[in-house]
């Protein structure tokens, strides 16, 4: 599956900073211990409501990680899946009378267009589940062979007790795990299961649903195993960052880690588990189920500058819940205008200290708010006093581009 066009990243002078990120599994702020190669897997969309601002904020977070690693000189292997077959997609297609394949295709293209507009660096591998059926089924068969899977009727389930480290990603208590499992696609009360949290690996054919032949019989993948198969096939174990929204901590990332660890008999699945907070609207989390969504494509259609959208999304720390407001967008538009005005003259105040401040802020668990304020301060100094450094406007422009993804 094709991603979207690449984005050129300008080179910057000065020294880079090692990136430190908060790891959900250890609850610690730790350096990302990358060498010449950094590996990242970010859970992609289920293509039926793309791209709302909650999506966009998540993918901008991991775009910042990608950019910090590249600034340090590392090569980045970035894999993102597309869950182009799943119950919510089928339910939306049934509700609207659309063919599920057409719905997915259209939404994936809309997502590509939005990512292009927001100047998000594309993944090196953009992988659909439908294109990975054989690989997923092979992993299911391996779990069966390892006696880590069992059947309920004709469906295959993962035995969570097969991984002694199950629960070490989210660290939730049993009551919370069961509640979240039920709320997020699980079936804790299904008769015949050994454990309430055992999750679906392979769904046998149902009337009116798509299915595929495979080594484990006809059917289609469960949610978690598809990401495991794609990540292991393209990145291997113990990659640097597993990313997504914080609503994926449990069950999705917990189940994915356990399945991978049982499959490979290795630990950990990922060195860092990085999770973004929720974006709200009118006092509630922005979500597909509530229908309170603001879409990137609609903002663009209304004439909003792509870079203003990006700046608005970057003006909150990725681990703190925040709310989208009209005022937030106005602030971003004013900031964008001020930055563009500041880099227009041929000279300006020295920019190397500002570049260092931006790098330092982003290296500190992606403190994008502080990074934006550093460029704000340079822009104000340019407006008030100006400067004689002929390289300064270019350095600021390239820093905003390379590190923040903002084209001035």
Residue 15 lies in a domain: no
Residue-level pLDDT at 49: 80
275 CA to centre of own chain: 8
Residue 288 lies in a domain: no
Residue 163 lies in a domain: yes
CB atoms inside a 10 Å sphere around CB 2: 9
Residue 114 lies in a domain: yes
User: Is the CB of residue 42 less than 8 Å from the CB of residue 62?
Assistant: yes
C-alpha to C-alpha distance for 132 and 111, rounded to whole angstroms? 20
Residue-level pLDDT at 332: 98
Residues of the domain holding 148: 20-280
Residue 203 lies in a domain: yes
Residue-level pLDDT at 105: 95
Residue 355 lies in a domain: no
- In sequence order, the 6+-apart residues with CB closer than 8 A to the CB of 363 are 17, 18, 19, 20, 68
User: SS3 for 47?
Assistant: coil
C-alpha to C-alpha distance for 152 and 120, rounded to whole angstroms? 42
Residue-level pLDDT at 258: 98
Residue 345 lies in a domain: no
Count: domains in the chain? 1
For the chain, residues with pLDDT lower than 50 are none
What radius of gyration do the chain's Cα atoms show? Answer: 22
C-alpha to C-alpha distance for 284 and 12, rounded to whole angstroms? 40
Query: In the structure encoding, which two tokens stand for residue 348, read together?
Result: 């300006």
- In sequence order, the 6+-apart residues with CB closer than 8 A to the CB of 384 are none
Residue-level pLDDT at 287: 67
Angle 49-272-225 from CA coordinates, rounded to 5°: 55
Residue 394 lies in a domain: no
**CATH number reported for the structural domain that contains residue 41 in this entry:** 3.40.50.620
Full-model pTM: 0.96
Residue-level pLDDT at 288: 64
Query: In the structure encoding, which two tokens stand for residue 282, read together?
Result: 């009118």
pLDDT tens profile 210-236 = 999 999 999 999 999 999 999 999 999
């Amino acid at each position: 599956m094709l991603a979207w066009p690449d984005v050129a990243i300008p080179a910057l002078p000065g020294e880079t900073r090692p990136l430190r990120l908060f790891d959900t599994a250890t609850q610690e702020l730790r350096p990302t211990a990358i060498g010449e190669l950094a590996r990242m897997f970010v859970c992609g969309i289920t293509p039926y409501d793309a791209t709302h601002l909650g999506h966009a904020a998540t993918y901008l977070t991991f775009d910042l990680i990608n950019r910090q690693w590249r600034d340090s000189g590392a090569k980045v292997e970035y894999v993102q899946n597309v869950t182009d077959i799943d119950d919510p997609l089928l339910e939306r297609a049934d509700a609207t009378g659309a063919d599920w394949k057409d719905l997915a295709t259209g939404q994936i293209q809309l997502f590509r267009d939005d990512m292009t507009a927001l100047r998000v660096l594309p993944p090196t591998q953009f992988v659909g589940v439908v294109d990975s059926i054989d690989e997923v089924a092979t992993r299911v068969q391996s779990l069966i062979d390892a006696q880590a899977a069992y059947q309920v009727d004709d469906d295959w389930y993962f035995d969570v007790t097969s991984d002694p480290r199950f629960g070490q990603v989210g660290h939730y208590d049993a009551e919370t795990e069961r509640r979240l499992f039920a709320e997020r696609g699980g079936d804790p009360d299904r008769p015949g299961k050994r454990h309430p949290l055992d999750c679906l690996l392979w769904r046998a054919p149902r009337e009116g649903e798509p299915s595929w032949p495979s080594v484990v019989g006809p059917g289609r993948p469960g949610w978690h195993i598809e990401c495991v198969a794609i990540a292991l096939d393209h990145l291997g174990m113990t990659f640097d960052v597993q990313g997504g929204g914080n609503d994926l901590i449990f069950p999705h990332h917990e189940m994915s880690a356990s399945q991978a660890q049982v499959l490979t008999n290795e630990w950990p699945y990922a060195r860092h588990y990085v999770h973004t907070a929720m974006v709200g609207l009118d006092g509630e989390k922005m979500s597909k189920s509530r229908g309170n969504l603001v879409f990137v494509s609609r903002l663009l259609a209304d004439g909003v500058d792509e870079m203003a959208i990006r700046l608005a999304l970057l003006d909150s720390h990725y681990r703190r819940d925040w709310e989208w407001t009209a005022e937030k967008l106005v602030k971003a538009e004013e900031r964008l205008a001020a930055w563009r005005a500041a880099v227009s003259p041929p000279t300006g105040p020295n920019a190397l200290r500002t570049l260092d401040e931006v790098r330092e802020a982003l290296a500190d668990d992606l403190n994008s708010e502080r990074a934006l304020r550093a460029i704000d301060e340079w822009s104000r100094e340019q407006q008030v006093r100006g400067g004689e450094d002929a390289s300064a406007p270019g350095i600021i422009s390239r820093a905003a581009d390379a590190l923040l993804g903002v084209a001035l």
